[in-house]
Chain A
Amino acid sequence: MKPRRGVSEIFASLTVLIIVSVLGVMLYNISIGTMTDQQKDLLNQLRFEEQKAMERFEIVSVEYSGSNSIRLWLLNYSNDENLKITISSIYVNSQQASFEATNRIIEKNIVSPITANLQFDLILNNSYNILVVSERGVGNAYTWIYS
């Protein structure tokens, strides 16, 4: 009868090699996946911070538009040709005003109107503090006197 010791050693070596290789590939894939996700998150975060830093907008003027609504004219003068600004909130005297969602995107170098509906009636000769906030968290304030 032939001794089977050699075959067993080769089989054991191959088995260990396969197990180690499979585990190695799995570990490599998990590591690469995790690192790629982290890199994407970091890139997205940095991109957001960059866009926030580049974002510039200003309330050019305010118009009376009804007893409880005003029209704001906004200019996007960001330092990036493709940077659009999305208006997130409008506050008038610390009270949130509603506005139409269709007009909330402000294109670069275009003066765009947005009508804000207030929760109160405007009073002649009163001063109103208006705060417009974008989705990236940039704000612009304006003091308007209804005259």
Chain B
Amino acid sequence: MATSSPNGPAPPRADSSIRVFWRVLRANPLSFFGFLLCAFIGLTALVVVVAPGLLVPYGPLQQNSLARNLGPSAHHLFGTDNLGRDIYSNVMLALPLDLGIGFAIAGSALFIGGALGLVAGFYDTPGTLGGWLSIAIMRVTDIFLSFPSLILALAMTRVLGLGVGPTVIAITLTWWPFYVRLVRGEVLAVKHRPYVSAARAAGVTENRILLRHVLRNVLEPVIVYFTLDIGTVLVTYSTIGFVGVASKFPSAQPEWGAMLAFYQGSGAATSEPWLVLAPGAAIFVTVLAFSLLGDGLRDILDPRTRRAFVRSTTTHDPPPETTTALSSSSDEPDSDSSSAPAVGAVDARSAS
């Protein structure tokens, strides 16, 4: 077995992000599946935006008195409602909106929170202006983190005005503090590394150190967290849609949460379950895809699981040749089945 290799586990190398990414996908079939699913969902959304005719047979509000309350069939994949509106078309049309909102909110939160976190982590020398700024940022962040973001976002949406735009702004305003915490923590861990001191000794200015040396090394965990976060944002947004404060259904631009709320409220859920299950399944699969991908990637963020991950990927140590994406994906089931017992073996009785 691979564990009995005479050389023992190779020391973990400092890898490029792409290679780490592939190692995670190879070690964790669920993440790999999530990655494929994300790619598929992204492509589908793109097609719906660019060429809706290919995937969306009916308009979002198009009624058909001859096709009321139909169950799922070849013509109406997810059935129709009491006015003959096609559920499949509505679910499909909602995909780009929900996905775009997930990216927009998580992305803006990343930029706002990331920038504040960089400042708070890097310029935190006590007594200086930066030190005070850092303290102020962290106190405000702590207060924001005391609120469940859903409830704060709900109240803010009311204040900002109902609709998609205000909801996006409201969620973003409650979302950035998570990134401040994350980025500041990473900056604090990185800023005393030897390469930063070396750059400082070489006379590189502080701002340049921040942007070229610290920022780059902080980026990887932040992006991993971002992947997982898109799903969470989507859930929050669609929950606000469900409460009925964000989007209304039926409308020209359907949204999954609002859609589910509408059909659940109309009392049709028991007699025509597809009305509720179709948008529900859509959001479940989308969020699950991002979570599967992000959860596996997050194993390398947490130092505890990272060690287990390094153990598991280095014991059977495939030569780090630059395989193309395609060939390594076809190897996937094999390499995993050989690595799986090794992981358990190392965990249970690692060589002392």
Pairing of A with B:
no
| Partner-B contacts on A (CB < 8 A) | none
